Amino acid sequence: MIKFNIRAIVSISLLFLLVILFITAVGIQILDEIIDPQILISIYLNPEENSPSFLIELQTIITAIHVIAGFLFCGLSIIHILKNIKAIKSYFKK
C-alpha cells in the first residue's frame, strides 16, 4: 500500500498555487492596462448592444482562476500550519 505524505503534498500544492497566483496577478495587471475603461463602462451600461471583447472575457477568466487559487492557497495554508504546529511552537520557545 502506498502511503501519502500529506505534508509534502500540501507543500508542493502551495508552491504550485503560489506560481499560479503570481502569473494570474501579472496577467490581470497587463490586461487592466490594455483594456480601455470607457469600453468597460459602455458594456456595463448597455450590455444588450455591446458584447464583451476577447480581452475582457480573458481577464474575467484569469480573475476567476486567481480567486479560486487564492481560496485554495488560504485553505492549504491552514492545513500546512496545522501539520507543522510542532515546528512552529519550537520556533517560539527559543
pLDDT > 70 fraction of the chain, expressed in percent and rounded: 93
For the segment 23-27, the average pLDDT, to the nearest whole number, is: 97
Return the higher-pLDDT residue of 32 and 75: 75
Tell me the backbone φ, ψ of residue 51, rounded to 5 degrees: -100, 145
Residue 8: HSE in the Cβ half-sphere, 13 Å Cα cutoff: 3
Residues 81 and 8 sit within 8 Å (Cβ to Cβ): no
Q: So what's the pLDDT on residue 25?
A: 97
Return the higher-pLDDT residue of 19 and 41: 19
Residues 77 and 14 sit within 8 Å (Cβ to Cβ): yes
Q: So what's the pLDDT on residue 94?
A: 62
For the segment 49-73, the average pLDDT, to the nearest whole number, is: 89
CA 43 vs CA 6, 74, 89: distances in Å: 46, 33, 53
Residues 47 and 20 sit within 8 Å (Cβ to Cβ): no
